[in-house]
Structure 1
Amino acid sequence: MSEPRQALLLPERRRFAGQPLSKPVARALGRADRLPDGEAGERAQLLRWFELLPRGWPMAAITRERDASDAVLHSWLRADPAYVRPDMTGARVLAVGELGLSADEAKALSDALRPLFGDAGFPISAPHPARWYLALPVEARLPAFAAPEAVLGDDLFLHLPDGPEGRRWRALLNEAQVILHNHPVNQARFASGRLPANSLCFWGAGRLPDQVKGRLRRAHSQEAQLASLAALAAAAPPGADGDLLDLREARDWAAVETRLLECLASAEAAGVVLDFADGAIFRLRPGQRWRLLRRPLAQLA
């Protein structure tokens, strides 16, 4: 089957719970090809549209190249600023990355952490206020770190790495939390009602891929992971023509329908794919309008 002319990346269908389908879209989805469900989650959704060689998910190196253009120099680990709130049962992770830090605040906080991570052999830097990085020696042995989407909203202690290497990183995190908690930047943010960056989220370790291939030629997104993948794929051999549209932040189904109908009006025979983060995938093509006996889709999920 040829690649689609347009593909829409969408959040989980439950994000649109209770929102009705318009008659034209319900009819089009009822006649569409329902492809086999893919794996759920952000990583799996992006990997349906990008191929990394060698295989893996070294997102720290991928976003580092876009942020600082020096990813080839090291292996990398994201050490994103996070806000953790203690509660009766542990410490709940309420924000990762996007805390509203200014560039000056991020620099001051990361500078305070330089001695800790420098002595450990992992220099820290913050080329973007929401994305901090540790440069790793090639031979560094790391435990498995949980992705931010798995940690967010949950108890931090349930996601800390274990084993001998895990103990080392738990100790580094504990020391970093003490430094961040006592830093004047965080004290000022807390006093003014803003979220303090009182913890770190380690994830995305690895080296820059040798090659990134995109299934479609163009990707339209401001989100760091997708934009970084698209920037690397631009240097790879071009794939099929087409556009990947990032609508994962959408919560208004009517707005999604507007974009979908625009895409259908301009699509060629290859048509349009709707790729939901829960793994549901629909393919719509012009010839499906003759599937007259198929009932309109009653609801998304």
Structure 2
Amino acid sequence: MSDTDHLLIPFAASHAPGCRQALATLALPQLSRLLALLGPGTPDPGAEDSFSPPHERALARHLGLPDGPQDCPAWAAWAVRQQPEPPEDPSGGWAWVTPCHWQVGMDQVSMDPPERLGLDEADSRALLEVLAPWFAQDGITLAYHAPDRWLARGALFDGLATASLDRVVGRDVRPWLPDKAAGRTLHRLHSEVQMLLYTHPFNEARIAQGALPVNAFWVHGAGALASPPPSRPLPQMPDALREAALREDWPAWAEAWRALDAGPVARWLARARAGTPVRLTLCGERGSWEGSNARRGIGARLRALLAGDRWPALYQQL
């Protein structure tokens, strides 16, 4: 079966009240028809407080990445090995570092979506120059990768469980920080960087321009890969549901689902009806479900069609 026939849908479900309300009037006819052609499938149960969301765990399985601490894939180490010219020795600990803005309230410290900072390459590189020496004191080397993402290398990232950005955006950051013992260095760096940036000219210039100050960072995708993972193409992984869910904009989430149902899901249905092997992975905030039409006989398909719409029951698993 070709890996390019894999449709992986993040944030296909949420148990937030607003999402449940949107689901009550959400018709997904193409998805219902596609599910009737797929096998019983394989569930991946999980918990909403897992550092790694279901769609990242599913993507890691697709790519053949080994399990990391608390099921957190070593995404930065994987990205290093995908580079056209990877380092001579890509082993050891790697991580992503994302500049961000934390809103400090009376009873929580919440993270704004990093894109609200509007960092361009010049600003990101300037900020990197400010912070790199502080990280270097703890044996961490920072390198520019994108405006909202730097590549970090250091021994402390080998075996360190770090929460995905998708778990933290819009939420209180404190439950998602690394273990205090294992992440002692990062906890101290968080405090030092907050004090450094509080009155730094970099932020004073941003505030004068009406932009949000950068007052924190988030480490994610940490870990090490002892050997290169298998070379596999990425699945089709639409992002519209994720963007709406992280904003908790459930009408937009429902509209995004309708577009997916009429677009990629309808195309996968056409392939399945033509006998082409396809895979579908639906991911929520707790778990995921993966099914395919491989080795599905006519009798099994008929029984599935007679069983009715499988989506409401699957929704409860995610």
Q: Give matches, 1:6-155, under 5 Å.
A: 6-14=5-13, 17=23, 18-22=25-29, 25-30=31-36, 32-39=38-45, 41-52=54-65, 55-56=67-68, 57-66=73-82, 69-71=85-87, 72-73=89-90, 75-96=93-114, 99-137=117-155, 144-155=161-172
Answer with 172-181 or 190-199: which moved more: 190-199
Q: Report the 3-state secondary structure (helix = DSSP H, G, I; strand = E; otherwise coil) of the residue aligned with 1:49.
A: helix
Give yes or no for the alignment of 1:281 onto 2:290: yes
Counterpart amino acid of 2:168?
V
Q: 1:20 to 1:76 in 2, by over 3 A?
A: same
Tell me, which stretches of 5 or more residues in structure 2 are unaligned? 15-21, 47-53, 242-252
Partner of 1:172: 189
Tell me by how many angstroms 1:38 deviates. 1.6
Tell me by how many angstroms 1:96 deviates. 4.1
Counterpart amino acid of 2:61?
R
Return the alpha-carbon distance in structure 2 between the equivalents of residues 67 and 181 of structure 1: 35
Return the alpha-carbon distance in structure 2 between the equivalents of residues 61 and 199 of structure 1: 23
Q: 1:99 to 1:68 in 2, by over 3 A?
A: farther
Q: Report the 3-state secondary structure (helix = DSSP H, G, I; strand = E; otherwise coil) of the residue aligned with 2:8.
A: strand
Tell me by how many angstroms 1:88 deviates. 0.7
Counterpart amino acid of 2:233?
R
Return the alpha-carbon distance in structure 2 between the equivalents of residues 148 and 142 of structure 1: 18
Partner of 1:293: 306
Q: 1:161 to 1:52 in 2, by over 3 A?
A: closer
Q: 1:191 to 1:151 in 2, by over 3 A?
A: same
TM (norm. structure 2) is: 0.71
TM (norm. structure 1) is: 0.75
Q: Report the 3-state secondary structure (helix = DSSP H, G, I; strand = E; otherwise coil) of the residue aligned with 2:230.
A: strand
Partner of 2:268: 263
RMSD: 3.2
Contact 2:98 2:148 in 1 (8 A): yes
Tell me by how many angstroms 1:92 deviates. 1.1
Counterpart amino acid of 2:224?
R
Q: 1:194 to 1:39 in 2, by over 3 A?
A: farther
Q: Which has the higher helix share?
A: 2
Counterpart amino acid of 1:52?
L
Contact 1:76 1:134 in 2 (8 A): yes
Return the alpha-carbon distance in structure 2 between the equivalents of residues 191 and 14 of structure 1: 41
Tell me by how many angstroms 1:200 deviates. 0.8
Q: Give matches, 1:146-295, under 5 Å.
A: 146-213=163-230, 218-219=233-234, 244-250=235-241, 251=253, 252-257=256-261, 258-267=263-272, 269-278=275-284, 279-284=288-293, 287=298, 290-291=302-303, 293-295=306-308
Return the alpha-carbon distance in structure 1 between the equivalents of residues 173 and 124 of structure 2: 22
Count of residues in correspondence between the two structures: 271
Tell me, which stretches of 5 or more residues in structure 1 are unaligned? 220-243
Q: 1:99 to 1:276 in 2, by over 3 A?
A: farther
Partner of 1:231: none
Q: 1:90 to 1:63 in 2, by over 3 A?
A: same
